[in-house]
Amino acid sequence: TVLVVDFGAQYAQLIARRVREARVYSEIVPSTMPVAEMLAKNPKAIILSGGPSSVYAEEAPSLDRSLFESGVPIFGMCYGFQLMATTLGGTVDNTGAREYGRTQLTVSKNSSTLFEGTPVEQTVWMSHGDACSAAPEGFTVTASTDLVPVAAFENDEKRLYGVQHHPEVMHSTYGQQVLEHFLYRGAGIEPSWTTGNVIDEQVAAIRELVGTKRAICGLSGGVDSAVAAALVQKAIGSQLTCVYVDHGLMRKGETEQVEKDFVAATGVQLRVVDAEERFLKALAGVSDPEEKRKIIGREFIRVFEQAQAEIIAEAGSEGGEPVEFLVQGTLYPDVVESGGGTGTANIKSHHNVGGLPEDLEFKLIEPLRKLFKDEVRMVGQELGLPEEIVQRQPFPGPGLGIRIVGEVTKERLDLLREADAIAREELTAAGLDREIWQCPVVLLADVRSVGVQGDGRTYGHPIVLRPVSSEDAMTADWSRLPYDVLGRISTRITNEVDEVNRVVLDITSKPPGTIEWE
Ligand code: XMP
């Protein structure tokens, strides 16, 4: 394991991902973790992340000097670099000279462990106020910039390395190479980690944990729950039952994809609950977005709980093994963000899940809690899940219910399903699926406009296309799709979907617009 010590400001997750891209397993730990605890994890190397503080700020996080004397190879980046400098007796000045963004780095010693084979002049990403002016004793300065005399240093004997910039950021052209030089050369680690190891490890661990007992898993149709279920299925086979609630708000072909393709690929026992009527009844006459969301959320939980309770009752009445485990598709970013990044156990007890009897204690199985999203997709692929499931773009839980502006009815859903299927088909055919984050297709059910088709006047509804590009859905930009693709989608939707006589394009970024319309 390589430990990434998190000094805040989101850099740690990116570093951990880059380390794994170098095929070395990494985990994030908070900077408040005592050094003894870090060392107890037997790390092969430690990386100190950047962070928002100045090393001179009063509350600035620090590190005990003993870490640098432990013999474990250490790589400090940005804040981590300055902390290494000050802790070991170098000088960091509050110069007031800020470097932010793309910066030219001059490598002064490219025979160095970190920079060997990279150009003397290279672009790096900087984000700092203080600057290091003198390296600690025993260290060689290996790079500088116009404003920073000591922009990188290393001490090969003690296996301590540092750079002022952010090698984990894409804009640092040789960043990944510098990181790999540290891992392979500086720390002498063999790159061997793959998602394949994850499958074997998890399958063995889940088998041992579950024994002969049973587990259940809710499938949403999304990537995470599908991969989690497939992994657990591989471990315990028919001891797992999956529940899928069809609320009638799915897109065309999605329920069939879960019912047929997912089952065909995994052989999982699946219980599909057809709840369309129930959802449409509950949604009748409602057009307020928040109210729709509440109704859909509430009904979903009720239906899901009922199915769970039935499975548990059936298991009991057959005198079989009790249902003791619940599978969830929690990912590593959720774990880190909820402060659980240090936990190594992938199993924890959970009381009173979703309204089941209070005395029923479920144990959670979260086989993906150490993985990033792209790694989950790789695991899915290795497990043989269909491409359509593994590469699925995000889709909101409330489904098409929040893509009809106005009341949700069966007729409107069918109409939107058709329009959405056409847009998806054309985007896929144009090879744009990986380029866009997602493309909601929205029906403005309460709006009508005049058109002309054949030789008659029409009075139909508009369809909105909302293609966006994004990294994490927190912010987004509208995607500049090729005109010919947009043209084909528009022509086909107006020709093939009754009651739609106009297609419009949403060109709002987020903020101010959200990705979904409701
Ligand atoms: P907004 O519209 O807030 O959406 O910009 C951000 C991302 O979240 C998805 N989304 C949801 N996902 N349940 C979900 O599972 C929801 O209720 C929900 N609402 C929005 C949306 O599709 C986008 O990817």
Three state DSSP letters for 49-112:
CCCCCCCCCCCCCCCCHHHHHCCCCEEEECHHHHHHHHHCCCEEECCCCCEEEEEEEEECCCCC
Element (H, E) at 122: strand 121-128
458-472 tens-digit pLDDT = 999 999 999 999 877
393 pocket-lining for ligand 1 (C-beta < 6 Å):
no
Chain mean pLDDT for the chain: 91
Note whether 89 and 210 are same-domain residues. no
Please identify, by atom number, the ligand 1 atom nearest to the C-alpha of residue 398. 17
In a domain, 397, yes or no: no
Which residue, chain included where needed, has tokens 């090393």? 55
Q: Taking the alpha carbons of 239, 245, 246, 249 in that order, is the dihedral positive or negative?
A: negative
Whether 200 shows a pLDDT value over 50: the answer reads: yes
User: Is 221 labelled a binding residue?
Assistant: yes
* Domain identity same for 169 and 236: no
Peptide bond into 511 cis (omega under 30): yes
ipTM: 0.98
CA 467 distance to own-chain centroid? 19
Flag whether pLDDT at 351 surpasses 60: no
The reply to whether 514 falls in a domain is no
Q: Based on the fold, state whether residues 175 and 212 are members of the same structural domain.
A: no
Claim to verify: residue 374 and residue 454 sit in the same structural domain: no
Per-residue confidence band for 170, with pLDDT thresholds at 50, 70 and 90: confident
Is residue 180 located within the same domain as residue 273? Answer: no
| pLDDT tens sequence across 233-265 | 999 999 999 999 999 999 999 999 999 999 999
For tokens 């928002």, what's the residue? 52
Residues near 425 by beta carbon (within 8 Å), at least 6 away in sequence: none
CB 338 within 8 A of CB 243: no
Separation of CA 516 and ligand 1 centre (Å) = 7
Residue 395 lies in a domain: no
Distance 399 CA to ligand 1 centre (A): 9
- Angle 22-431-436 from CA coordinates, rounded to 5°: 70
Nearest to 153 by CA among 166, 164, 165, 140: 140
Tokens of 7: 């000094």
Decide whether any atom of ligand 1 lies within 6 Å of the 397 Cβ.
Answer: yes
Q: How confident is the model at residue 99 (pLDDT cuts 50, 70, 90)?
A: confident
Indicate if 62 and 170 belong to the same structural domain: yes
Catalytic residue numbers read: 78, 166, 168
CATH number of the structural domain spanning residue 285: 3.40.50.620
340 pLDDT tier (thresholds 50, 70, 90): low
Q: Is the CB of 213 inside a 6 Å radius of any atom of ligand 1?
A: no
- Is 515 inside a domain boundary? no
Structural domains in the chain (count): 3
Query: Which of 298, 403, 515, 518 to mutate to test ligand 1, by most ligand atoms within 8 A of the CB atom?
Result: 515
Nearest to 385 by CA among 280, 492, 260, 253: 260
- Identity of the residue numbered 427: L
In short, whether 510's Cβ falls inside 6 Å of ligand 1 is: yes
Buried/exposed 419-435: b ≥16 CB within 10 Å, e otherwise: bbbbbbebbeebebbee
Q: Is the pLDDT of residue 230 over 80?
A: yes
Query: Distance between CA atoms of 105 and 131, rounded to whole angstroms?
Result: 14
Contact between 202 and 367 (Cβ < 8 Å):
yes
Task: Find the helix packing angle between 410-429 and 483-496, rounded to 10°.
Answer: 150
How close is the Cα of 503 to the center of ligand 1, in Å?
Answer: 23
Same domain, 181 and 200: no
Q: Does residue 492 fall inside a structural domain?
A: yes
DSSP, collapsed to helix, strand or coil, labels residue 465 as strand
- Identify the pLDDT of residue 361: 64
Confidence bin at 350 (pLDDT 50/70/90): very low
Q: Residue 33, CB half-sphere, CA atoms under 13 Å: how many?
A: 24
Question: Would you say residue 518 lies in a domain?
Answer: no
Q: Which of 293, 441, 516 to mutate to test the pocket of ligand 1 (most atoms within 8 A of CB)?
A: 516
Q: Is 396 near ligand 1, meaning CB less than 6 Å away? A: yes
Ligand 1 atom nearest to CA at 514: 5
* CATH code of 493's domain: 3.30.300.10
> Does any ligand 1 atom lie closer than 6 A to the CB of residue 438?
yes
Q: What is the pLDDT of residues 357-376, one digit of tens each?
A: 555 567 889 999 999 988 99
Q: What is the pLDDT of residue 344?
A: 31
The CA-CA-CA angle for residues 28, 30, 32, to 5°, reads: 155
Q: Which of 412, 418, 443, 401 is nearest to 493 (CA)?
A: 418
Measured by CA distance, the residue closest to atom 7 of ligand 1 is 473
Range of the domain at 14: 2-186
pLDDT of residue 345: 32
* pLDDT band, very low/low/confident/very high, at 354 (cuts 50, 70, 90): very low
Does residue 516 lie in a domain region? Answer: no
Assess whether 10 and 87 both reside in one domain: yes
pLDDT surpasses 80 at 319? no
402 CA: nearest ligand 1 atom: 19
